[in-house]
């Protein structure tokens, strides 16, 4: 992406100069806080650390603190601009550490060209940090500094310019070879650029399986060959080969892979044309590559291409590496970052690229879909799953290779990493984990839909549920093949040719014959996929139904209400949304979907169902019955209705924390409740919000999601005799998975109930959202 000079300067200068600041993790608001944060209270952890130095990880932030160290001798493509001029880059590195892996950073710019001084400085700083990230130090000094520090320090030391590029291009190489159908042990690789990144990447490729003798290393003097004297050092010498070739153009003939870590325009179309079939070209010079994507594609339509740019496919960006590598290393207190950990990072990235990509990631890049292949070899920078996959792989490799001081359970660690992704992710995973304990059959009437197919793939892969896809089998298989979705583990049922069609027709006629439906009409209706799916749930051939991405809400819910019907004793079906704020607060809002003007009795059912839903998410419900005023301050029929509902709720469930009528802002303000309404039971504020009507609930939910920037899960349909959930038409794949997981958990609970078609319930007035 192109950025103007003034845009960049404005970004860095305001509203506060720079990009980072220090934020306290403990309160310092009172005299007591001050005495704890500093003297005299601070003496106690000091003494504890003196007694056991390892306690520094318990009482200080050392375990999550990395130093980014530079002397500014090789800053980006700017060269030796000095330590101070390199500071914006180091601050930027700190931003990336924090943003992507929640690692804290101090940037340290060292005004020296002497490698020994940098080594000494880092050694002296070891008590302060959990790890050292060396950055933008010229070769060969960077090799010596890292080697010396690895030998003498007991914390991870990592030169990102070397190993970050190696790890990420390594992942791209593994997947490019798979796409091109080539054997890593037989390929011939040409490197152009013999600096820190070039040599480290070549070494990493050898560890991945490329034969050293099949690598040709080139620099500004040409091919690195045995006996060459000019521009040589001991690091280049490792790749010196016996050859009569002397130029890059000669080396490129018949090569399988080109790796460019050099300068713009280093290779041309003729060189790419001279390469072997299905050539792999990694042109990573920044900001302009050795050859552009368009130039390479113009001369070879079989080329597999990666660059360092975000406006071309397969961007090799080091942010896919260092934050997550350090996250995993820090969390097991690794004493170093060894080759096993680097290889684990590479393989984790390569494997993740083959997984289905979340809609949220696709939206971030303005594309409809990302799918493993020539133009998607490695995950994108903003894929949140990289944290879980890569950090856990690095931690596991550290444990297995014996460099972890604090080994941990990897399954539990992955769950911890998932929680770092945010409260919304954690909340949705709660239901997914419950669903995985006993997966159920979920029928999807929209079986040919792309999002449904991709969501079902996730359900099978993560063992959340057992999908049943309704539709034309040939169309579903063709669509799945186009999307790269494996249908294994999914059942396909075509209502028009199903062996159950006659039995379902007779049952539909029995259910609806006194509602104006003739046998002939039942025969016509049964091939409607929502009707057929609802009948599958009713007859026990499926445990739950999820539908709605291609239809209006009433058209989706009507067959379910007519066939599956409500739970015994209920008079209304209702809908709720789970809303997760940016602060990580979780709220349940109802009824957002079905009942336009609920009565007091309806509000009781809605509140009880929503409270039960909160408990499913392992949250203790505190229910606020909302209105436009609080506790009798205004005399109005709406307030009377809400007050009556509270009285009925106290009778229906005396253990439920519920109060009202109460205004929304009061319900969410623990201080207001404590000071103005000390009699209220809503101590700590409400987390279940029951609105007096559909309009207020639906409007509030949409505004909070849009303006407040929160995330939501839903709509969640409540009160049905068997699980039926209606998706909104803009639902993402991730949202479909979350709703399906809720449906599975519903079905698990329904195992204790009698079969639904033996019950009788009142068919409600059909209202709701689009």
Beta bridge partners of 622: 657
> Furthest-apart CA pair in the chain: how many Å?
97
What is the H or E stretch that residue 133 is in?
strand 131-134
Distance CA 565, CA 676 (A): 44
Distance CA 594, CA 596 (A): 6
Count CB neighbours of 505 within 10 A. 20
Identify which of 594, 559, 600 has the alpha carbon closest to the alpha carbon of residue 574.
594
Radius of gyration of the chain (CA): 31
Distance CA 357, CA 377 (A): 12
> Known catalytic residue: 577?
no
Distance CA 95, CA 622 (A): 38
CB 593 within 8 A of CB 768: yes
What percent of the residues of the chain are helix, what percent strand, and what percent coil, each to the nearest 5? 45, 15, 40
DSSP string, 9-62: HHHHHSSSSSS-----SS---SHHHHHHHSTTTTHHHHHHHHH-GGGHHHHSSG
Contacts of 64 (CB under 8 A, 6+ apart): 102, 103, 104, 130, 330
Which position among 11, 38, 59, 753 bears the catalytic label? 38
Count CB neighbours of 181 within 10 A. 8
Which position among 5, 87, 93, 423 bears the catalytic label? 93
> Known catalytic residue: 312?
no
Distance CA 492, CA 485 (A): 14
Phi, psi (rounded to 5 degrees) for 547: -155, 165
Count CB neighbours of 209 within 10 A. 14
DSSP string, 432-446: HHHHHHS-EEEEES-
The catalytic residue positions are 38, 93
């Amino acid at each position: 992406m192109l950025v103007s000079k003034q845009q960049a300067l404005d970004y860095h200068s305001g509203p506060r100069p720079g990009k980072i600041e220090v934020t306290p993790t403990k309160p310092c608001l009172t005299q007591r806080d001050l005495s704890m944060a500093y003297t005299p209270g601070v003496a106690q952890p000091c003494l504890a650390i003196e007694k056991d130095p390892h306690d520094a990880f318990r009482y200080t932030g050392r375990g999550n603190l990395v130093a980014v160290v530079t002397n500014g001798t090789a800053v980006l493509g700017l060269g030796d601009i000095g330590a101070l001029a390199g500071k914006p880059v180091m601050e930027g590195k700190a931003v990336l550490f924090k943003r992507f892996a929640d690692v804290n950073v101090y940037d340290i710019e060292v005004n020296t060209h002497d490698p020994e001084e940098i080594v000494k400085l880092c050694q002296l700083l070891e008590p302060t940090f959990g790890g050292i990230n060396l950055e933008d130090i010229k070769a060969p000094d960077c090799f010596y500094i890292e080697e010396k520090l690895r030998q003498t320090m007991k914390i991870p030391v990592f030169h990102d310019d070397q190993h970050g590029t190696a790890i990420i291009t390594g992942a791209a190489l593994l997947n490019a070879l798979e796409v091109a159908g080539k054997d890593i042990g037989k390929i011939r690789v040409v490197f152009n650029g013999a600096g820190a990144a070039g040599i480290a990447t070549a070494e990493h490729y050898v560890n991945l399986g490329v034969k050293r003798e099949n690598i040709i290393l080139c620099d500004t003097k040409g091919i690195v060959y045995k006996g060459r004297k000019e521009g040589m050092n001991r690091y280049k010498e490792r790749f010196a080969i016996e050859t009569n070739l002397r130029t890059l153009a000669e080396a490129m003939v018949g090569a399988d892979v080109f790796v460019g870590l050099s300068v713009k325009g280093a290779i041309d179309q003729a060189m790419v044309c001279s390469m072997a079939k299905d050539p792999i070209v990694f042109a990573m010079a920044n900001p302009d590559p050795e050859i552009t994507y368009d130039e390479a594609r113009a001369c070879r339509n079989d080329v597999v291409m990666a660059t360092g740019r975000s406006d071309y496919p397969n961007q090799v960006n080091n942010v896919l590496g260092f934050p997550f590598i350090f996250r995993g290393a820090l969390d097991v207190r690794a004493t170093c970052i060894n080759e096993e950990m680097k290889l684990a990072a590479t393989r984790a990235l390569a494997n993740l690229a083959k997984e289905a990509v979340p809609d949220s990631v696709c939206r971030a890049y303005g594309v409809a879909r990302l799918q493993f292949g020539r133009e998607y070899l490695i995950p994108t920078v903003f894929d949140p799953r990289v944290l879980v996959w890569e950090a856990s792989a690095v931690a596991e490799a550290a444990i297995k290779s014996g460099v972890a001081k604090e080994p941990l359970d990897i399954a539990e660690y992955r769950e911890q990493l998932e929680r770092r992704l945010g409260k919304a992710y954690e909340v949705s995973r709660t239901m997914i984990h419950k669903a995985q304990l006993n997966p159920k059959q979920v029928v999807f009437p929209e079986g040919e839909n792309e999002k449904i197919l991709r969501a079902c793939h996730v359900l099978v892969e993560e063992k959340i549920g057992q999908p049943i896809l309704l539709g034309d089998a040939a169309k579903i298989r063709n669509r799945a093949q186009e999307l790269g979705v494996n249908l294994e583990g999914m059942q396909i049922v075509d209502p028009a040719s199903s062996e159950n069609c006659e039995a379902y027709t007779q049952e539909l006629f029995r259910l609806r014959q006194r509602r104006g439906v003739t046998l002939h009409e039942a025969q016509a209706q049964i091939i409607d996929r929502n009707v057929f799916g609802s009948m599958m749930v009713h007859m026990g051939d499926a445990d739950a139904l999820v539908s709605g991405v291609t239809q209006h809400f009433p058209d989706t819910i009507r067959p379910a209400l007519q066939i599956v019907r409500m739970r015994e004793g209920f008079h209304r079906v209702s809908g709720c949304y789970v809303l997760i704020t940016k602060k990580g607060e979780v709220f349940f809002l109802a009824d957002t979907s079905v009942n336009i003007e609920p009565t007091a009795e309806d509000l009781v059912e809605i509140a009880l169902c929503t409270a039960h839903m909160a408990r499913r998410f392992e949250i203790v419900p505190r229910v606020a019955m909302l209105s436009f005023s609080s506790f009798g301050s205004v005399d109005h029929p709406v307030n009377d209705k809400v007050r009556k509902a509270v009285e009925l709720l106290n009778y229906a469930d005396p253990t439920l924390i519920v109060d009202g009528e109460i205004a929304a802002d009061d319900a969410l303000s623990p201080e207001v409740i404590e000071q103005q309404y000390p009699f209220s039971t809503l101590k700590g504020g409400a987390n279940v919000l029951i609105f007096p009507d559909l309009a207020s609930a639906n409007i509030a939910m949409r505004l909070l999601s849009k303006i407040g920037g929160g995330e939501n899960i839903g709509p969640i349909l409540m009160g049905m005799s068997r699980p039926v959930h209606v998706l909104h038409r803009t639902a993402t794949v991730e949202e479909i998975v979350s709703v399906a997981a809720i449906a599975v958990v519903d079905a698990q609970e329904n195992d204790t109930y009698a079969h639904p078609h033996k019950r009788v319930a009142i068919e409600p007035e059909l209202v709701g959202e689009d």
